[in-house]
Amino acid sequence: MAPVCNLMVPEQRRWDYDAVTDLFNARDRELILKIPLSSHRDSDLWHWLAEPCGKFSVRSCYKLMTYDAHKCASSVWKRLWRLDVSGKVKNLMWRAANNVLPTADNLRSRKVQVSPLCSVCNASNESVLHTLVDCGFAKSCWIASPVGYTGHLPSFLAWLGHIFSRCSKEECNLAATICWKLWTHCNDKVWNNRCGRVHQILNSAGHMLYQWQVLRKQVMLADAVASSVVHGAVCWERPPVGWAKCNVDAAVFHSQSLVSYGCVVRNSEGMFLAASCDRFLGKFGAREAEAEALGVREALSWLKHLHLPRVIIEMDCLQVFKALSDKHSNPNGFGLIIEECRFLSQNLREVQFSFVRRSANAAAHSVAKVGGSKSDYSEWRGVPPRWLLNHL
């Protein structure tokens, strides 16, 4: 190992620019050349960078060793308090991250005589991480949700940091709301001996998040107030008896300058009734909401020929849903498409619009993707295509 003095000009108090340039990359070279050299000191000495005086201290060493952990935790807290969820959900997440929820292991550590086993699965000790993430029921919820299951992590705080680092803002909002629903489900099992289902937990979380965000922004949509449809579902739900549900989605293929749409209709028993898809040329770029609106327009035109008395049209584009629910529309291209949708909906006996999350619209999304590879209009009635079965 060569000493640092080999990077200096012999008998001079300056760096050897050529030597530094040859040995180091541009970043390191710039940092080295910025280091001032003493003009009078001959002997080297140790300097502890964590203290201004240069002397080592246990206190500064401890701060240096725990800096990354504190920085990570600080980032988690900032992201937590910025979530667009209700205050009670943020409070629950804060208590969970600090491990102060009244789970069995925390109660037993305070000398409360309760069973150590999880009240939901009765298979493992009940901790915060187990209840909200690793329990078999909780794991099924995460796998079925857009957030996904991350695998076992050492603590709930670590899990929360992992979610914040890899998920979008809306997925983080949903994850926090799912945690709230998992906690209330656990309490419901303890006090009322009631067990819910995975899709019930996820959809109630989606509904709760949607309602909170609408009320917080004071966007009182007419459809959201007057309709019996509950918005923001995470999993597909059957329509009420006497109704059919048409899921609609669009897919934009930028490289081919075309857009395709897909529609899937099911009845109140969840049985497949019909599906259709088509494509047309168009460059939409950042105006993908127009493509979604075109899909709704084509679905309304198609539904007229199916002679369904009552139809719920479900989409995962919130912008289109809000525009359809509003009484006014802008005089631009998007607004004109919305006007056409309203006009076509009047030709059907009874229509309601509903907003769901992408995970609840998977069937229509897969049909729209297939529509991009079709050369012309395609339709299926009574019997679904094989490639669609896994999404129904």
> How far lies 323's CA from each of 63, 213, 290, in Å?
53, 17, 11
Residue 315 φ/ψ, nearest 5 degrees: -140, 160
> Strand 258-266 vs strand 244-253: parallel, antiparallel, or unpaired?
antiparallel
> Strand 378-381 vs strand 272-281: parallel, antiparallel, or unpaired?
antiparallel
CA distance 355 to 351: 14
pLDDT digits (tens, 9 = 90+) for 71-119: 556 788 989 999 999 999 999 999 999 999 999 999 999 889 999 999 9
Confidence of residue 204 (pLDDT cuts 50, 70, 90): very high
pLDDT digits (tens, 9 = 90+) for 106-159: 999 988 999 999 999 999 999 999 999 999 999 999 999 999 998 889 999 999
Q: What is the mean pLDDT of residues 377-382?
A: 95
Mean of all residue pLDDT scores within the chain? 88
Q: What domains are defined for the chain?
A: 83-213 (no CATH), 244-391 (3.30.420.10)
Euclidean distance between the first and the last CA atom of the chain, given in angstroms as a whole number: 66
pLDDT of 300 above 70: yes
Give the per-residue pLDDT at 173.
96
pLDDT of 38 above 90: no
Confidence of residue 218 (pLDDT cuts 50, 70, 90): low
Angle at 65 between CA 95 and CA 79, to 5 degrees: 35
Give the per-residue pLDDT at 98.
92
DSSP 378: E
Confidence of residue 50 (pLDDT cuts 50, 70, 90): confident
Single-letter code of the amino acid located at 230: V
Give the per-residue pLDDT at 228.
53
Q: Can you point out the beta strands (E) in 256-370?
A: 258-266, 272-281, 310-315, 350-355
DSSP 271: -
Give the per-residue pLDDT at 82.
93
Both tokens of 119, joined, read: 């009240």
pLDDT digits (tens, 9 = 90+) for 320-359: 998 998 877 676 778 888 999 999 999 888 999 999 999 9
pLDDT of 314 above 60: yes
Q: What is the mean pLDDT of residues 212-239?
A: 70
pLDDT of 54 above 90: no
Candidate from 65-79, 229-243, 304-318, 356-370 with smallest mean pLDDT: 65-79
Candidate from 42-56, 238-252, 317-331, 352-366 with smallest mean pLDDT: 42-56
Give the per-residue pLDDT at 250.
94
Give the per-residue pLDDT at 68.
54
Question: Which of 20-29, 47-56, 371-380 is modeled with the greatest confidence?
Answer: 371-380
pLDDT of 172 above 80: yes
Candidate from 18-32, 131-145, 175-189 with smallest mean pLDDT: 18-32
CA distance 312 to 324: 13
